[in-house]
Structure 1
């Protein structure tokens, strides 16, 4: 291998200027996203003390140009940060909350089906065998009666929701939570 071939091979292994710039801009965007987080979440990220201080200062900076410069500085410090770990944690927070929302919506759907239709109870009980059937049926009856009374209310009167909420809590207690629940409760 000649010296020229060695130099060409070394040149081919280096990233292009465009690639370096794309990576730098991606780190700057990640830094900007970190600045938008709450101080509590920032403390949970694997950031160096210098980077954490810079992020917290950017959060406190109100002057437009000063904030822009501070965010730019955060982006520069991000070059030495574990960007992939930070992205994963932020993705977990974002997807975890979506997962939690979907879980709570499924509980609401189950509650509404159980109040609306007697035929929904048997399949639900089959899927949740550890439920006290007698107490659960009693909750459903009370929620249905409460729902019927609420339909007869005049405009401006407050509906009762005691049994409606109790049924929701019973369904939630019987339905297993999604795996990533612990990361969404921060």
Structure 2
């Protein structure tokens, strides 16, 4: 079992058979599973336990997968969670629409277990790498800010010594001029 397999996967699908098969496959692979049978309940539940990835059916009663995805991507809390659409719709227009709404991938039904696992692992890895990169960028920004403060302080000291009417001599600890 690798690190991505302890991830939480949220499945939103109105088909009980799909939910059962996906849940079993993913649980056998070590993932934790959350389930919703429609977009509305999925949107309500997702804020209580933020998943690492969402598998989202397109054709559902009430709000469809496209609208569910749009609302997920509009929310600051859920916008960075990867969404993979699961659909029997294989038209380019549907794929383009889903990707333009912020989905990261498509799985066509009926799905192959190995393909589902491979796509999930890929997008979980990409998410972890993106998060690591963001953390490193924050650290670099903090370091740059600290260096800028030190540089500004050195400029002030330099101006003070240049404009001082007194002589300044720098020596080592033994009093020898450096």
TM-score by length of 2: 0.31
Q: Which has the higher contact order (CA 8 A, sep 6+)?
A: 1
Higher strand share: 2
Give the structure with the larger helix fraction.
Answer: 1
